[in-house]
Copies of this chain bind each other. A is one copy, B any other.
Amino acid sequence: MDEKTQELVERMLSGDQGALARLITQVENRDASAPEIIRRIHPRTGRAYVVGVTGPPGAGKSSLVDRLTALLRQGGASVGVIAVDPSSQFTGGAVLGDRIRMQQHTLDAGVFIRSMATRGKVGGLARATADTIKLLDAFGKDWVLVETVGVGQTELDIARQADTTVVVLTPESGDAVQMMKAGLLEVADLFVVNKADRPGADPLITELKFMVHLHLTGLDAPRDVEWEIPVLSAEAIHNRGVEELLVAIQDHRRLLESTRALESRRQARRRQDVQELLVQSLHDTISQALRSDPRLAAILDQVSRGEKDSYSAVAELFSHLDLPNPRA
């Protein structure tokens, strides 16, 4: 690691927010220094409690995160916020508006807010988020709130990095809920029906409770703790239901801690993380080899022209790279 990065890490660990911001940029850009940064801060990680807040666009996640942040600050805890929007190409305006609303916290040194949008490959976003959580954790934040627009696989992967995952829906989510049900049920530890003063809120709450109930009666895989997923209601912009949400999050946290489920969840997550990094590193290595070795590039060209099938090509590439043959 170059001296400058080393100095940044030291300044960050002693509480310099500017150094923190610059290190986040380096891991987000997958700078060559990223592995060493994470290696250096690793001993200081594992203390922050991570809450994921996910749901469709327009569900009011940002307002809820904003109110939760204020409440946690009132209790004296320090808070880091990561707002991830993989589709921000199309909703840049909304994200900007949300961030402006969050500015009430910008003069508060106990709050650090960071927005992230897709940079290149989506897989990279989950990696950048994981590393940023570690940086905020090492920096000493008591809580890290990760807000994601929950739609596809990427967002679910990001949600899985949380200790407690809150899924936010609104009466308007209708079709969206339908589409995301499977994935959301899988990651939700808590449901919040936001904008609960609007028509359709009660039927949605009833439907969610019914889904939760079915889920618990054995249609799906058993969960790791005895926890009946609560279905709360809120009106974040009027600051209603936010205290109840924090109580539920704290209840869930206490349950995970008392049953050691927190540690086993974190272990599973670390295992998942290293395997993903492994595949990604292999992918990088192969891409590098394909670029630098004309024999390998020639095999790809044959596939591209339809002269060779993919399976034969992969077997040849493995043999050139001196790797054990994949399942023949």
Q: Are the C-beta atoms of A57 and B178 separated by less than 8 Å?
A: yes
Interface of A is mostly: helix
A81 within 8 A of B: no
Complex interface residues of chain A between 32 and 51 (CB less than 8 A to chain B): 32, 34-36, 38-39, 42, 45-46
Integer count of this chain's copies in the complex = 2
Contact of A310 among B57, B267, B274, B324 (CB under 8 A): B274
Q: Is the CB of A281 within 8 A of B39?
A: no
Q: Is B278's CB under 8 angstroms from A317's CB?
A: yes
Give residues of chain A (95-144) contacting chain B, Cβ–Cβ below 8 Å.
Answer: 122
Q: Out of B57, B178, B279, B317, name the residue touching A286 (CB < 8 Å).
A: B279
- Cα–Cα, bound, A287→B271 (Å): 12
A309 and B36 CA atoms in complex are apart in Å by 10
Q: A303-B271, A305-B267 are in contact. Are A328 and B90 (CB under 8 A)?
A: no
Q: Report, as a range, how many residues of chain A touch the other chain.
A: 35 or more
Chain A, 260-316, CB within 8 A of any chain B CB: 266-268, 270-271, 273-275, 277-279, 281-286, 288-289, 300, 303-306, 308-315
Contact B270 A306 (CB under 8 A): yes
* Distance in angstroms between the alpha carbons of A61 and B180 in the assembled complex: 19
Contact yes or no, B182 A87, CB < 8 A:
yes
CB neighbours of A39 from chain B (8 A): 309, 311-312
Residue A173 CB within 8 A of the other chain? yes
A4 within 8 A of B: no
Contact with A173, one of B45, B175, B309 (Cβ below 8 angstroms): B175
A26 contacts the other chain (CB 8 A): no
B90 and A181 contact, CB distance less than 8 A: yes
Task: Check if A89 is an interface residue, CB within 8 A of chain B.
Answer: yes
Instruction: With both chains docked as a complex, state the minimum distance between the C-beta of A19 and any C-beta of chain B, in angstroms.
Output: 19
Q: Are B285 and A324 in contact (CB under 8 A)?
A: yes
**Is B182 a contact partner of A90 (Cβ separation < 8 A)?**
yes
Q: A159: shortest Cβ distance to chain B, in Å?
A: 14
The reply to whether A306 and B266 form a contact with Cβ atoms under 8 Å apart is yes
- Extra contacts, 9 of them, besides A268-B304, A274-B310 (Cβ < 8 A), are A32-B327, A35-B311, A56-B175, A151-B152, A153-B154, A267-B304, A273-B303, A278-B317, A279-B283
The reply to whether the CB of A172 lies closer than 8 angstroms to some CB of chain B is yes
Interface check A174, CB cutoff 8 A: yes
Which of B89, B308, B314 lies in contact with A278, CB distance below 8 A? B314
Interchain nearest-CB distance for A214 vs B (Å): 11
Q: How far is the CA of A244 from the CA of B326 in the complex (A)?
A: 47
Q: Is A246 an interface residue (CB 8 A)?
A: no
List 10 contacting pairs A-B, 8 Å CB cutoff, sorted by A: A35-B311, A56-B179, A89-B182, A267-B304, A267-B306, A270-B304, A278-B317, A279-B279, A281-B327, A288-B324
The answer to whether the Cβ of A323 comes within 8 Å of any Cβ in the partner chain is: yes
A225 close to chain B: CB less than 8 A? no
A277 touching B152 in the complex, CB below 8 Å, given contacts A56-B179, A174-B175, A326-B284: no
A313 touches B279 (CB 8 A): no
- Measured between C-beta atoms, what is the minimum distance from A40 to chain B in Å? 9
Partner of A176, one of B175, B286, B289, B317: B175
